[in-house]
A and B are shown apart, each in its own frame.
Chain A
Amino acid sequence: MADVMGREEIPALFEAVAEIFEEKKEELCAMDANMGDGDLGLTMCRGYGALPNLLRQYLETEDIGKMLRKAGMDMAFVVPSTMGTLMASGLMAAGKALKGKAELGSAELCAYLTVFAQGIAERGKCERGDRTILDALGVAAERAEETCAADPDTGLAEIMEAAIAGARDGVEATKAMLPKFGKAVVFSAKAKGIPDQGAVAGLYLLEGMNRYISART
């Protein structure tokens, strides 16, 4: 039997993300204070904390794409900071790509991960190697797609595990990268040897999703 999630599961998927960001709030804020504004943990908590209920507003549309897109727009208003706008942009892009889908199977999950990263790259005008969240999410999406391409019947949890392994590698790689965006540029010299806090947040985002996905089977 194909491993698929129904649209009614999507809010719970992000509740698990909200839960992990609640746990990691202090850690992310401390990392961010060292390099930037210090509000990264708060942004992720507030944004993903609001997302499940934002999604529930659109359950009746019976369209995962539309749910994600509409809730993404709402989330942009809840968290107006740069990272909030980027997360919302990823959701909106993924929503556009998944338009008309009533279920999330392996192919859709891969598409979600890929387009979410693309949405961030387009809105933030950033590339891999710029020491951002994209360095985690970009590798993650690539690994997910590879796993799925090798075997289209790969289960959702297995895809997430591949993505998370990719994100971990991505986080590790940011230790050698210099920041190109935001206040972090000013603290360039301090960046060496420590991972980018945005990339770490990207890893936690995926871990949160998998906390739900791996528990449901």
Chain B
Amino acid sequence: MKKIINRPEDYALDMLKGIYVAHGKEVKAANGDLRAYCTARKHEGKVAIITGGGSGHLPLFLGYVGEGLLDACAVGDVFQSPSAKTIYSATQEVEAGAGVLYLYGNYTGDIMNFDMVAEMCEDDDIPVHSIVGADDVASNTDPGKRRGVAGIFFLYKCAGAKAAAGGTLDEVLAAAQAAKDATRTIGFSLTPCILPEVGHPNFTLDDNEMSMGMGIHGEPGVWNGPLKTADEIAAECMEKLLADMPVPAGDEVAVLINGLGATSQEELYILYGSVANILKEKGIKVYRSFIGEYATSMEMMGASISICKMVNDAMRHQIDYPCHTPFYCQKQDEVMTGGVTDGGCDGTRGNSCAL
């Protein structure tokens, strides 16, 4: 194992310490618990959106805490659920009188702890709604049992925009639900990652092998086999995504090409080129593209493709809504006229910057 660390067991806390030092004006720890990562800019009367999950996925989860997105993130150890106490501390800190939405990935430990705190909030008379991202089509045929992966970004975008615009708790939940219903993801990996406290790879792939459908914690995929070309990978992924969620010709989708940690930007753009070609052939328009690292698995090599079907103008507005965090920013789009877009081919809006 080669990692830039001090002690393996301090991986998550040392990471947090670095982030607080770097971005102390924008974020703070609640109740002395570094894992209760909160925005430093509380907006009274706004619905608070809180996420959480294990470390090892930056910029997921805490990277989306900031203006126009989320208010807090409960941070767990590498690939571990955050504790109920951390979730509770974060909730106390950012709850601003309009209720709280818990928005996180569909994993057993996370659900147990968030549900526990949601029940505690009942006693505190804090209204709480919960929704889990469950976008990984390769993880289960039953949509309720799917893992949450990179597509949660679209749920963050839509719920975050709705909350920033003054939406009620019910409206913010509805925005997240609409994005959830419209989002599908599939991922694949080329190499494993090493958990600092374990010290060796969590699975093995031969030099020429890839794993299609693998989860962001190395959960087994659909098949392991010889590495395919970008065009072939894109074709298989898009076939699976569109089989699960048909998108008629003429409709628009937002596309997220996400690197898993050790895949170059160049490769991500090669993959996006292949995806864009497939969508063009099918007559599906790209409303906006997002290309970069949005949900990683430490130094895993590989990528995921997410599509979010644009079901109405409200969703388009939420996807375009400007936001800013220490890890992600998306500027206000310039005013467009007559269907002219701000760059990119096929009418794609400019790629937003994952910093």
> Shortest distance in angstroms between A85's beta carbon and chain B's nearest beta carbon?
6
Interface residues in B67-85 by Cβ distance below 8 A to A read 83-85
Q: Which residues of B contact A88 (CB under 8 A)?
A: 84, 116
Residue A123 contacts which of B88, B115, B120, B123 (CB distance < 8 angstroms)?
A: B115
Q: Does B277 contact A (CB under 8 A)?
A: no
* A157 CA / B116 CA spacing, docked (Å): 32
* Contact (Cβ within 8 A) A82 B84: no
User: Nearest Cβ in chain A — how far from B88, in angstroms?
Assistant: 8
Indicate which residue in B85, B88, B112, B119 contacts A82 across the interface (CB closer than 8 Å): B112
| Given known A-B contacts A69-B123, A85-B116, A92-B119, A80 and B108 have beta carbons under 8 A apart | no
Q: Which of A169-185 contact B (CB under 8 A)?
A: 181
User: Are A80 and B83 in contact, CB atoms less than 8 angstroms apart?
Assistant: yes
| B112 cross-chain contacts in A, Cβ below 8 A | 82, 85-86, 123-125
Chain B residue numbers with a CB within 8 Å of A80 are 83-85, 113
Query: A interface, how many residues as a size bin?
Result: 10 to 19
Which of chain B's residues has its CB closest to A81's CB? B83
User: Does B143 interact with chain A (Cβ within 8 Å)?
Assistant: no
Q: In the complex where A124-B112, A125-B108 touch, is A85 in contact with B119 (Cβ < 8 A)?
A: no
Q: Could you tell me the distance in whole angstroms from the C-beta of B120 to the nearest C-beta in chain A?
A: 5
CA A125 to CA B132, docked complex, whole Å: 16
Complex Cα distance, B81 from A85, in Å, reads 12
| Contacts known (A69-B123, A73-B120, A76-B116); A85 close to B108, Cβ less than 8 A | no
Which one of B84, B108, B111, B123 lies within 8 Å of A76 (CB-CB)?
B84
**0/1 per residue, A22-45, Cβ < 8 Å to B?**
000000000000000000000000
Please report which residues of chain A, range 52-108, place their CB below 8 angstroms from some CB of chain B when the two chains form the complex: 69, 73, 76-77, 80, 82, 85-86, 88-89, 92
Kindly list chain B residues whose C-beta atoms are within 8 Å of the C-beta of A125.
108, 111-112
Counted as pairs of residues, one from A and one from B, with CB atoms less than 8 Å apart, the total is 35
Give A127 to B309 CA distance when docked, in angstroms. 37
B250 at interface, CB cutoff 8 A: no
Within 8 Å by CB of B84, from A85, A124, A181, lies: A85
Q: Smallest CB-CB separation from A69: which chain B residue?
A: B123
A35 to chain B, nearest CB (A): 17
- The chain A residue with its CB closest to the CB of B84 is A76
Give the distance in Å from the alpha carbon of A80 to the alpha carbon of B108 in the complex. 14
State A89–B137 Cα separation when bound (angstroms): 32
Chain B residues near A69 (CB, 8 Å)? 123
B97 adjacent to chain A (CB < 8 Å): no
Report chain B residues within 8 Å CB of A92.
119
* Cα separation A125 to B115 with both chains bound (whole Å): 11
Q: Note all chain A residues with C-beta closer than 8 A to B111.
A: 125
Tell me, in angstroms, the Cα distance from A88 to B113 when the chains sit together. Answer: 11
Given the interface pairs A69-B123, A76-B84, A77-B84, the reply to whether A82 lies near B109 with Cβ below 8 Å is yes
Residue of A nearest to B120 (CB): A73
The distance in angstroms between the C-alpha atoms of A123 and B123, with both chains bound, is: 17
Are A85's CB and B123's CB within 8 A? no
Q: Which residues of A contact B109 (CB under 8 A)?
A: 82
In B90-118, the 8 Å CB interface with A consists of 108-109, 111-113, 115-116
With the chains together, A16 CA to B115 CA distance in Å? 30
What 1/0 mask marks residues of chain B from 120 to 151 whose CB sits below 8 Å from any chain A CB? Answer: 10010000000000000000000000000000
**Docked pose: A123 CA to B111 CA in angstroms:** 9
Chain A positions within 8 Å of B84 at CB level? 76-77, 80, 85, 88
Query: Which partner residue on chain B sits nearest A119 by CB separation?
Result: B119
When distances are taken between beta carbons in the complex, the residues of chain A under 8 Å from B113 are: 80, 85
Closest beta carbon of chain A to B55's beta carbon, Å = 16
CA distance in complex: A80, B86 (Å): 10
Enumerate 29 A-B pairs (CB-CB under 8 Å) in ascending A order.
A69-B123, A73-B120, A73-B123, A76-B84, A76-B85, A76-B116, A76-B120, A77-B83, A77-B84, A77-B85, A77-B88, A80-B83, A80-B84, A80-B113, A85-B84, A85-B112, A85-B116, A86-B112, A88-B84, A88-B116, A89-B119, A123-B112, A123-B115, A123-B116, A124-B112, A125-B108, A125-B111, A125-B112, A181-B108
Q: Which 8 A-B pairs have the closest CB atoms?
A: A80-B83, A77-B85, A76-B84, A73-B120, A85-B112, A123-B112, A85-B116, A76-B116
Q: A76-B120, A85-B116, A123-B115 are in contact. List 14 more A-B contacts (CB 8 A).
A: A69-B123, A76-B84, A76-B116, A80-B84, A80-B85, A80-B113, A82-B109, A86-B112, A88-B84, A92-B119, A123-B112, A123-B116, A125-B111, A125-B112
